[in-house]
Copies of this chain bind each other. A is one copy, B any other.
Amino acid sequence: MSYSISEAAEKSGISAKMIRYYEKTGLVPPAQRADSGYRKYSDKAIHRLQFVRRARDLGFSVKDIEELLALWSDQNRASADVKKLAEGHVHALREKMDEIQQMVDTLQHLIECCHGDDRPDCPIIENLGHPEQTRNSTLNT
């Protein structure tokens, strides 16, 4: 059996647009073609797309996925290689999380300081203008 690109899209969860893009950039090999020129996808090809999809869901970059695909099809890979790649990715994700967490902490503090009514004085805006200054001012009405 073989499937059209839209069927492959549905089965893999990757849009047809992106499947073509991945093909063009070499992440997946060129699809077979029907006489009409339409792309055809085997179960194996679709499986590969599903792998890609899953890896993207886990936040791997396309570059990482290239490596993962190579490891996937390498029967003799060392699991240590995969693990190292995954650990590097987790590390990067954790760093991004920490960054965001810091932003959230700062903003949450400012939000709590802001009475949020129709008066103009606002610690949030003040902090943006003068970062050092504004620290805490929950105490006035």
Which chain A residues have a beta carbon within 8 Å of chain B's beta carbons? Answer: 47, 50-51, 54-55, 57-59, 68, 71-72, 74-80, 82-84, 86-87, 89-90, 93-94, 96-97, 100-101, 103-104, 106-108, 110-111, 114-122, 124-125, 127-129, 131
A5 to chain B, nearest CB (A): 22
User: Given contacts A72-B129, A76-B120, A125-B72, are A104 and B97 in contact (CB under 8 A)?
Assistant: yes
Identify A93's interface contact among B47, B84, B100, B122, CB under 8 A: B100
Chain B residues lying within 8 Å of A125, measured Cβ to Cβ, are 68, 71-72, 77, 79, 82
Interface centre among A58, A78, A119 (most CB of B within 10 A): A58
- The main secondary structure of chain A at its interface with chain B is helix
Identify A75's interface contact among B101, B117, B120, CB under 8 A: B120
A77-B120, A78-B120, A79-B114 given; name 16 further pairs at CB < 8 Å: A47-B129, A54-B129, A54-B131, A55-B128, A59-B100, A68-B128, A78-B119, A79-B120, A79-B122, A80-B118, A82-B114, A83-B122, A84-B116, A86-B124, A93-B103, A93-B107
